[in-house]
Amino acid sequence: AQAPAAQPSPEAMVLALEGRAPYGAPALVRGERKQEPRVDRGDADVRHIDINFPKLKARGFVTPDAGSSQIAEEFRVIKRPIIRNAVGRRAVKHGNLVMVTRALPAEGKTFTSLNLALSIATEIDSTVLLVDGDVAHPSIPEIIGAPHGPGLLDLLTRDDLDFGDALVKTNIEKLSVLPA
């Protein structure tokens, strides 16, 4: 049996994102990437998950099958101006991109991001790509049952992956996820 591949440390991930090599490793010239052959996976290998709606609902999340609820109404209020900026007459540059961040740990960025994504994905003319950018503590895959990788960090550090290799389709037709 093969030994599992070692996971890079958070420090190694930061160095990789910055194009630097850790101490003692051969350095690449900035912008130079180790060339590896691209893998053609075809359409047969598209990753897909079925989100467990009862489990999400029990944890306080918006679900497409829940109908009207207090949390659904609260996120409906939040998403309206976001959608208006993205597609309305008052459109702003890159108005279709939304970033949820925090000042302190445990302020609810995952809860907010996932609920907002689920709420917007229920709109008639909206599709959502939920990108888990928390490479140090990714939690979206655990919550919705998605595989942890390959994901965003792999796309940034590996040449043998295409975007589709990291994308995870869901049972909500207009919601896809890019794990960290």
User: What are the tens digits of pLDDT across the range 93-120?
Assistant: 666 788 888 888 888 999 999 999 999 9
Alpha carbon distance, N-terminus to C-terminus of the chain: 28
91 CB contacts (<8 Å, ≥6 apart)? 85
Q: Whose CA is closest to 110, among 78, 87, 134, 135?
A: 134
pLDDT of residue 144: 95
Q: 180: pLDDT confidence band, cut at 50, 70 and 90?
A: very high
In what helix (H) or strand (E) does residue 80 lie, and over which residues does it extend? helix 70-87
Q: 91: pLDDT confidence band, cut at 50, 70 and 90?
A: low
Mean pLDDT over the full length of the chain: 78
Percent of the chain with pLDDT strictly greater than 70 = 71
**């794990």: which residue's tokens?**
179
55-68 average pLDDT score? 87
HSE-up (13 A, CA, CB side) for residue 146: 29
Using N-to-C axis directions, what is the helix angle for 109-121 and 70-87, rounded to 10°? 70
pLDDT of residue 41: 45
Higher pLDDT, 65 or 36: 65
CB of 147 within 8 A of CB of 141? yes
Q: 1: pLDDT confidence band, cut at 50, 70 and 90?
A: low
Statement: residue 34 has pLDDT above 60:
no
Torsion of CA 99, 100, 104, 106, to 10 degrees: -150
pLDDT of residue 97: 82
Statement: residue 139 has pLDDT above 50:
yes
